[in-house]
A and B are shown apart, each in its own frame.
Chain A
Amino acid sequence: MFRTNMRVCVLLLVIFLLNALPLQMVIAATPQLSEAPLIAKKPKESNVKPLHKIIDEQIQSEYKDQTNSVSTISSDGEFLRRVYLDLTGRTPSITQTREFLNDSRTDKRAILVDQLLASAEYARYTSQQLDVMLMRRLRKKYINVSTWEEYLRKSVADNKPLDQIVREIFASDGSNKETQAAARFYLARAGDVNELTRDIGKIFLGADLTCAQCHDHPDVNEWKQDHYYGISAFLIRSFVFTDKKKKQTVFAEKAEGEVKFESVFEVRDKTSKGAETTLPVVFNGPKISEPAFKKGEEYQVKPAKDVRPIPKYSRRAQLGVAITAPQNRRFARTMANRLWAMMLGRGIVHPLDADHSDNPPSHPQLLEILTDQMISHQFDLKWYLREIVLSETYQRSSANDLFTKKSSGKLDDSRFTHAIMKPLTPEQFSWAVLQATGYADIHRKSLKNKLTEESLRKRLLGYEKRFVTLFGGLPGKPVEGFETTADQILYLSNDGGIQGLVMPSSGNTADRVLKVPVDQPDKIAEELYLSVLNRHPDQTETEEVAKLLQGKAGVERSQMVSDLVWALVMSSEFRFNH
């Protein structure tokens, strides 16, 4: 009752304000009104301190002697570019840049954040980030990549709780058309028990248990071989089965099969007491006991040639529930930490899959709070990202006087005293290039009333794919950190596809710059810098542009403008999200 009433009030308010508010804001507000059952419940707004305030208190209380060396809050331009890239995967257009920089409202950052979080681009880009996390850019195997991508995109668009997405992924065996896409997690890994065990540990539990496959982890005391095989045990009975009649491949399961393991060290030293086994268990949680069946009665559908067996009891069905169970704090903690790293450029536990007592978090108490809140807010992805980007911690500048001095070693990334510069992801890089050069705007314009996130993306997908191939690392081994190779730079420097973007063409950035009257050098520099770097040029930069164009006309002038666009797009300021 309360909720319904509140909705009516909000709706009335919206209708009342329709004329007063810019249309965009109304649109931004509407998705929160839908009653879709999957949407994470909005927490009751009370006088509880919002998470972004708590984040700042926690981070600031640890600055200690560095209080004087903390970076200032980012400029509007810096914030605008950063939050666009992080939440929508692209840079803002020149119009959006101008609007934001000229907006004098004191809460304009929060307003922008809500607009971006409601956009179709947010769902697309965030789902791509989750995709890389879950699938390591693995190639297609059995399940269509595009249906999987659409499943993730839709899940993010609906703001489906993260734990629910994970349960759906673990529950899908690929046989049901509606949930088939989610089976890509298992099937692209060919159902390999070791690969799945390793990835489940790394992605969802913050633990790379690879070394614990053959013996207790040699460097991490608390990671035992039992932990590895506890997870393997959920999957040991599963196998990839192709139904030749239906022409469908699924992740099937048998009713029998146990994990067996013994330490290779003990085998070597002849101290092994023989192979051990374990029931399915997630870390130190409860072992999942299973019902006993009479011999011959274990199956709903018995195994036979070309027949997919169906056991009465499925071990694998317990996996998603066990991983996401509230008692298993490792899951919420790992999700909180991974999303934090996505926004801040570094985990509170870092590396993200080395969460153990010899590698303590930089801010233990904060990580506990984030974990608690992740659970109490029912894994609400949008709420969590919103709180992070509203924090001062996220909004600090990447610039700091200390970096000018040789003593810059003093500023430790793990203190979050400054924004860590993040290399653009291949997706961000491609869309930022298309936006900065004005090519995306040409297509937005030509699509007219058919313009949607989807229709625009269809037109520009070739670029995104090319960038992913060149900058994304290998299938199964996506780039971590920053890498640069000769073929990337040769592409950016000499490829016709890039050169075509920086040369003037009706409506693109070079063209718009050339249309600014020659006798207004300030305006020319401004058009360039606002388009490409989303900020105003400073005095030196304005003078530099004026000098470069001085006395140039015709082809010479147009070439110089193209070269300026190229130089700005290829600058380190552009290559990183700073």
Chain B
Amino acid sequence: MRCDYACGTHEGLSRRSFIGGASAGALSMLGFNGMTEVQASKKLASQQKQVVVFWLSGGVSQLETWDPKPGTETGGPFLSIPTSAPGVQISELLPHTAQQMHHLALVRGINTKENDHGKGGYIMQTGRKKQPGFAFPYLGSTFSSHLSSPDSPLPGYISVGAGGSSSESTFLGPRHAPLVLSGGRAPSNLELHKSMQPDRDQMRRKLRNKISRRFEQKRKTAHTEVYNESFDQAAALMSKRDVFDFSKFSDKDVERYGKHDFGRHCLMARQLIEKGVTFVKVGHTNYDTHSENFNFHIEQLGEFDKPFATFISDLYDRGLLEHTLIICMCEFGRTPRINSRIGRDHWGTAWSVALGGTGIKGGAVSGKTNETGTKVIDREVNGGHLFHTYYQAVGLDSTEEFYPNGQPIAKADPKAEPIKEILV
């Protein structure tokens, strides 16, 4: 395993400073993260930018989605179809999405040089190559920390059917770790226990606080403060639990989105965005099609296409797309070469993602692959370029730095720049 050269440059951090950063992060939980770019985050919080990532786990095929090569030796059996964006064609497996193409832009020149699920996923979600001894925050945590209001009772990063771990926030601290709605369910224990009444609960929490304060009088309070605050935070979250009430979707909506998990997860994401959650990650899985690539893509994309398109059109109709960035991505693409099991394997060399919504030029296309899709021949980009682009799309300066423990860490890879041609 190679480590990034950057680990010896200004970006590098020793384990020691990382630990310091991590514990500072723990302390900063619940809104004490005053040290870094308060003003920038305030400014943006007022503009209410939000982000939704559709994560197609396993690696969707670019040839069956955003960069079809019909009629070539690598193209497979499917045709390409015109879309609502003049001159842009995508795979016929995405007929509904094709009608929303004027809201979306495509990046077809991605080369991440990485064919491993874990490492590819890391590059796409942190904008960097994995490097030993230092962990960059995932984009959910990053945007939670930049865009959500420090006094919001809601978590800034919620994952629906896409997994996630509390380590994703790294030095940004647990405040920006994902709240994972496992199995598409609301968090447990959001309601008072059935034997408890609201006024009684409030009384005992006040009492808890009073007892704690007495103890803390002559003691170091760095950690106790965080502990006490977290009880207020939990109470605030409980007061907002309607955000997590997913029982009230209309029959018509359920019909439009589909009665499968992914349809429901898209509806949940729509509700979370409407209620003001900063970052939502929605997962759809089973794209690791080493065999039967085409049958699997008919099936998976058949499920994905309509709810994804409906989500975009609903956000547009409700005026939410104006300030919401949409990213549809995965670990890597799939090999142009069709293997002996009619499958396609892992492929980080020439593949695509789709972006849409705020800051993105609808219908724009960046990058080009050769006739058989084996090589990027124009405007090659990697995870770093994409990260700069996300930042710019929501109005943030991607050339700034984080300061965990006082040491500068570039927010996006300094060796890359934004993909300007798809930005408004």
Contact = CB atoms under 8 A, between A and B. Distances in A.
Interface in A460-495: 473-474, 477, 480-491, 493-495
B165 A491 contact: no
B223 A421 contact: yes
Contacts of A487: 187-189
Given A499-B195, A567-B207, A578 B7 contact: no
B223 A576 contact: yes
Interface stretch (B42-50, B224-232, B279-287, B375-383): B224-232
Nearest to B20: A351
Contact of A503 (B29, B191, B195): B195
Contacts of A219: 12, 14, 16
A496 interface: yes
Given A214-B3, A489-B231, A573 B238 contact: no
A473 B219 CA distance: 26
A441 interface: no
Given A211-B7, A484-B174, A489 B208 contact: no
Contacts of B233: 486, 489
Contacts of B238: 490, 494
Contacts of A575: 224, 227
B15 A404 contact: no
Interface in B80-136: 132-133
A566 interface: yes
A413 B319 CA distance: 53
Contacts of B365: none
Contacts of B22: 480-481
A208 B195 CA distance: 50
B79 interface: no
Nearest to A418: B220
A483 B30 CA distance: 11
Nearest to B16: A354
A113 to B, nearest CB: 24
Interface in B145-176: 155, 165-167, 174
Contacts of B19: 351, 480
Contacts of A211: 7, 12, 14-15, 132-133
Nearest to A194: B1
Contacts of A398: 219-220
Contacts of B208: 566-567, 570-571
A60 interface: no
Contact of B3 (A208, A264, A411): A264
B215 interface: yes
Interface string A209-229: 011011101111000000000
Contacts of B26: 481-483
B378 to A, nearest CB: 28
B218 A400 contact: yes
B40 interface: no
A293 interface: no
A494 B192 contact: yes
B220 A208 contact: no
Contact of A354 (B15, B201, B234): B15
Interface in B1-33: 1-3, 5, 7-8, 12, 14-16, 19, 22-23, 26, 29
A485 B177 contact: yes
Given A218-B12, A559-B200, A213 B218 contact: no
B283 to A, nearest CB: 19
Contact of B212 (A403, A486, A564, A572): A572
Contact of A489 (B15, B165, B220, B230): B230
A213 B132 contact: yes
- Secondary structure of the B side of the interface? helix
A486 B167 contact: no
A578 to B, nearest CB: 7
A289 interface: no
B2 to A, nearest CB: 7
Contacts of B234: 486, 489-490, 493
Given A421-B223, A474-B165, A482-B223, A399 B218 contact: yes
Nearest to A211: B133
Interface in A195-244: 198, 208, 210-211, 213-215, 217-220
B203 interface: yes
User: Most B CB atoms within 10 A — which of A487, A563, A571?
Assistant: A571
B3 to A, nearest CB: 4
Contacts of B318: none
B248 interface: no
A483 B229 CA distance: 12
A490 B187 contact: yes
B375 to A, nearest CB: 26
- Of B8, B191, B192, B221, the most chain A CB neighbours within 10 A belong to B8
Contacts of A401: 218
B188 A563 contact: no
A489 B235 CA distance: 9
A570 B237 CA distance: 18
Nearest to B201: A493
A218 B14 contact: yes
A442 interface: no
B250 interface: no
Given A214-B3, A214-B132, A421-B223, A486 B237 contact: yes
A563 B29 CA distance: 27
A275 to B, nearest CB: 13
A26 to B, nearest CB: 38
A483 B200 CA distance: 27
Contacts of A474: 165-167
Contact of B193 (A217, A486, A495, A564): A495
Contacts of B204: 563-564, 566-567
A482 B23 CA distance: 8
Contacts of B29: 483-485
B35 interface: no
A483 B195 contact: no
A214 B133 CA distance: 11
A491 B188 contact: yes
B219 A421 contact: yes
Nearest to B224: A572
Interface of B: 1-3, 5, 7-8, 12, 14-16, 19, 22-23, 26, 29, 132-133, 155, 165-167, 174, 177, 179, 187-196, 200-201, 203-205, 207-208, 210-212, 214-221, 223-224, 226-228, 230-231, 233-234, 237-238
20 contacts: A198-B132, A211-B133, A213-B1, A214-B2, A219-B14, A219-B16, A264-B3, A411-B220, A421-B223, A473-B166, A481-B23, A484-B227, A489-B233, A490-B189, A490-B190, A494-B192, A503-B195, A559-B200, A567-B205, A572-B227
Interface of A: 194, 198, 208, 210-211, 213-215, 217-220, 264-265, 268, 351, 353-354, 359, 398-401, 403-404, 408, 411, 413, 418, 420-421, 423, 473-474, 477, 480-491, 493-496, 499, 503, 540-541, 544, 548, 559, 563-564, 566-568, 570-573, 575-576, 578
Given A399-B218, A495-B188, A564-B207, 13 more contacts: A198-B132, A210-B15, A265-B8, A400-B218, A411-B220, A482-B26, A483-B26, A485-B230, A488-B230, A490-B190, A493-B201, A573-B212, A578-B215
